[in-house]
Amino acid sequence: MATRINPGAAREMLAFDGACLVLDPGMPPTKPLWLGLSAGDLVLIDATDGDRVAAFADAAVGLTPPAGGHVRFLGRSWSDLDADASNAMRGRIGRLVGHGGWIEYLSVRDNMLLGQLHHTNRRESLLMDDAARVSRLFGLPGIPLARPADLNEGDLHRAGLVRAFIGRPQLILLERPTQFLYPEIMEPLINAIRSARDRGAAVLWLTLDPNVWRDASVPTTRRLRLIGGELFEGQRAS
């Protein structure tokens, strides 16, 4: 049976409070979902479908309103925030977008920094230092200066991971972070997640990869499956 997860937990970073999400165009929304992520949590969700990964992530950051219930970040429902407040809150979220998410006429460097420069008051020089450090962590020789179309899939995906982790975000949302790069990305990815959790960030990892799901080295606080519009707790079938 479906599990009601962390209802009403205090001081959550991200909470789905009975949220009915529209994940499939033209189909009914999910049943009410209850899920809370607090500081230091790592929740791994097997989303079973790539389009559902993106739709779930969009709902988590308030880009797609739920059909019922609430999605809250730092205790505030996205539905209650105006555009300016929502953008300011998103400055505290790092997101790896599973499909693209790049502005093609900007360099990868400018893409990396754009969200932080737009939504926060962090100095560009400090962001550059952070981006260079995280780039090396994920196997890039430095911050890519080329345009997105000029990088191969693997390096562009590494750059997307860099973008998700820079700026000390309070919530990190990872859409299929191992695609193109499994298994070599696992060690640096887990190290980056560990550092983020140690400073109090929460991490939501959305995957389609059964190898990731079965990998005991992923130090999750909870593993869930999204099936038929419900969240289930437990292991994925082999």
The pLDDT of residue 121: 75
pLDDT value, residue 3: 37
CA separation for the pair 125, 120 (Å, rounded):
13
Give CA–CA dist 130/136, Å, rounded: 10
Cα–Cα dist 70/68, whole Å: 7
Element (H, E) at 119: helix 108-119
In this prediction, residue 235 carries a pLDDT of: 56
Phi, psi of 213 (to 5 degrees): -60, -35
The pLDDT value given to residue 1: 37
The whole-number pLDDT of residue 11 equals 66
What gap in Å lies between CA 150 and CA 152, rounded to an integer? 7
**Strand locations in the chain, DSSP E?**
12-20, 33-38, 42-46, 68-73, 76-77, 93-96, 171-175, 202-207, 222-227, 230-233
The whole-number mean pLDDT for each consecutive block of 10 residues of the chain, a chain of 238 residues, reads: 41 93 90 96 90 93 96 96 92 89 94 83 87 96 95 96 95 96 96 97 96 91 91 65
pLDDT score, position 41: 97
Residue whose pair of structure tokens reads 């997640």 in the numeric block:
193
- Nearest of 174, 210, 230 to residue 23 by alpha carbon: 230
pTM to 2 decimals?
0.91
